[in-house]
Amino acid sequence: MTVVRGSSSHTINSYGSDIVQFENMLRKKSLSSTHNWNDIDDQTIESYIRLLNERGYLPSTKARKLAAVKSFLGFLHNEEVISSDPSDDITLQRQGSKLPLVISVEKIKSLIESTLIHSTYPIAERDHAMLHTAYATGMRATEIISLNVRDIDLKAGNIKCLGKGSKERMVPIHRGAIDSVRQYFKKSRRDLLKASDMDAVFLNRMGKRVSRQGFWLILKKYAKLTNLDHAVTPHTLRHSFATHLLEGGAPINHVQELLGHSSIATTQIYTHLTTGHVREEYEAAHPRAFSKDYNV
């Protein structure tokens, strides 16, 4: 998954835990601490599906767990560890597209500004710079926490981002976010850095790189303080960034490039979210939009 697919560490960890769960079921079923992968058949896979159903997993979670097992068994077959792939006849159900949560520009502004209201130095300036950067660039949570000082060119207003599949892209960052990062670098980061030589941009109280979970908790804290929807996540900032760009008239291929999507089909989900904006523009611009006295 690392070398061939270029999967993220988050995906690899998720698949790893799913495969361990599958293996634990096999061991329990065989009443032995060991098992032979060649003993797995379609009935084994069906037993696993029943187990997932009994545990009440969401459809999306079940789909991922089955995808992990199917991928792993396919790998074992390709490597000739097993003579046949028992998951060949298992068809993964395509999950319906769920429109991502997007929050308004005004709420984004309140969220970012709340960092300076509800926190104290140096955490306030770090959180302000981190959330400002996330919304200004549309970068993924993993991409944000993986940033190193050398990746940010404040003078040019660019950030070098390492995305999925180790694909590198250059993302512009607007003046407001640049000022937030510059203010954070000026003193707050040095105070958080303590005596270490950590190159990470965003540091925790221990002087270490902020973790993915840490970023999530930071965002949840301010989302709660500003009375935003409980479902707000780091990806909400990314979704909002893309949607607001499209609403502002940015070409979809430019948004695709900024987000680091390999296929424009992935970016097209955001066009569904701009329908309301397009309707408003139509009604405001069309000469007969709200006229009650025109003749058809």
**pTM for the whole structure:** 0.65
Give pLDDT, residue 129. Answer: 97
184 and 245 housed in the same domain:
yes
What DSSP assignment string belongs to 61-121?
Answer: HHHHHHHHHHHHHHHHHHTTSSSS-TTTTPPPPPPPP-PPP---HHHHHHHHHHHHHH--T
Task: Specify whether 244 is catalytic.
Answer: no
258 and 116 housed in the same domain:
yes
Give pLDDT, residue 271. Answer: 76
48 and 122 housed in the same domain:
no
Residue 97 placed within a domain: no
Interatomic CA distance for residues 208 and 99, integer angstroms? 35
Residue 14 placed within a domain: yes
Task: Specify whether 238 is catalytic.
Answer: yes
Residue 148 placed within a domain: yes
CATH value at residue 194: 1.10.443.10
Task: Specify whether 48 is catalytic.
Answer: no
Give pLDDT, residue 294. Answer: 34
Residues of the chain with pLDDT under 50: 289-296
User: How far lies 3's CA from each of 8, 82, 261, 282, in Å?
Assistant: 11, 22, 19, 49
Give pLDDT, residue 244. Answer: 92
Give pLDDT, residue 288. Answer: 53
At 257, list the tokens: 């490039």
pLDDT tens string 71-99:
898 888 888 888 877 777 666 655 555 66
22 and 168 housed in the same domain:
no
Residue 170 bridge partners (DSSP): 160
Residue 55 placed within a domain: yes
For the chain, what percentages of helix, strand and coil (3-state, to nearest 5) are there? 60, 5, 35
At 62, list the tokens: 């079940």
Average pLDDT of the chain? 84
Amino acid at 36: N
Choose one of 78, 94, 119: the last residue of a domain: 78
- The active-site residue, picked from 208, 221, 235, 277, is 235
Give pLDDT, residue 207. Answer: 92
Give pLDDT, residue 210. Answer: 94
Interatomic CA distance for residues 90 and 87, integer angstroms? 5
Residue 135 placed within a domain: yes
Range of the domain at 41: 9-78
Q: DSSP secondary-structure letter at 160?
A: E
- The active-site residue, picked from 164, 169, 209, 277, is 164
How many domains would you assign to the chain? 2
Residue 172 bridge partners (DSSP): 158
Residue 89 placed within a domain: no
Task: Specify whether 261 is catalytic.
Answer: yes
Task: Specify whether 140 is catalytic.
Answer: yes
